[in-house]
Structure formats: structure tokens, C-alpha cells
């Protein structure tokens, strides 16, 4: 019986560690995508034609990734 509870605790700890890593990855990926969108928006003609529509989509996608990451929530709660 005790072995069963130990296995369940191991699963919970594993999920907790991987969720934090995934949150950090999503946060950094969101920032990078937003910066790519800002770079395309800055010049507007980097790839030959106007790329403002692509830049807008990249910016919205990056903001969505930042909003869904758990890293942002941890920063708002005092870094817990």
C-alpha cells in the first residue's frame, strides 16, 4: 500500500518539474516570436514585399504563448 502512494507521489513530482520546464520554454519561445514579429514590422520589406501582416500574426502568436506559459504567473506572484 505504501509503495502505491510512493509511485503516485513520484508521478506528481515528475509532472510538476516538467510543467515548470514547459512553462519556461513557452515563455522564451513567445518572446522570441514577438521579437521576430517586431523585426519584420520594423522594416516592413525585409523579405521583398510588405510583411506587416505576417508580423502581426507573429506578434499575436507570441503574446498568446507568453499568456499561456506558467512562468508569467510565477513572476506575478512574487517569483514563487
Answer yes or no: is 77 within a domain: no
78 in a structural domain:
no
Any domain includes 76: no
Residue 47 within a domain: yes
65 belongs to a structural domain = yes
Tell me, yes or no, whether 22 lies in a domain: yes
- pTM score, two decimals? 0.64
Q: How far apart are CA 43 and CA 49, in angstroms?
A: 10
Q: From first to last of its 80 residues, what are the pLDDT tens digits of the chain?
A: 556 656 666 666 666 666 777 888 889 999 999 999 888 888 666 666 777 888 889 999 999 988 888 755 555 555 55
Residue with cell string 517569483:
79
DSSP letter for each residue of the chain:
-HHHHHHHHHHHHHHHHHHHHHHHHHHHHHHHHHHHHHHHHHHS-TTSS--HHHHHHHHHHHHHHHHH-HHHHHHHTT--
Q: Is residue 54 part of a domain?
A: yes
Range of the domain at 51: 2-70
pLDDT (0 to 100) of residue 24: 87
Number of domains, the chain:
1
Amino acid at each position: 500500500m505504501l509503495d502505491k502512494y510512493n509511485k503516485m507521489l513520484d508521478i506528481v513530482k515528475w509532472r510538476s518539474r516538467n510543467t515548470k520546464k514547459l512553462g519556461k520554454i513557452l515563455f522564451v519561445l513567445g518572446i522570441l516570436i514577438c521579437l521576430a514579429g517586431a523585426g519584420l514590422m520594423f522594416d516592413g520589406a525585409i523579405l521583398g514585399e510588405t510583411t506587416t501582416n505576417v508580423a502581426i500574426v507573429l506578434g499575436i502568436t507570441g503574446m498568446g504563448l507568453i499568456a499561456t506559459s506558467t512562468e508569467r504567473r510565477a513572476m506575478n506572484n512574487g517569483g514563487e
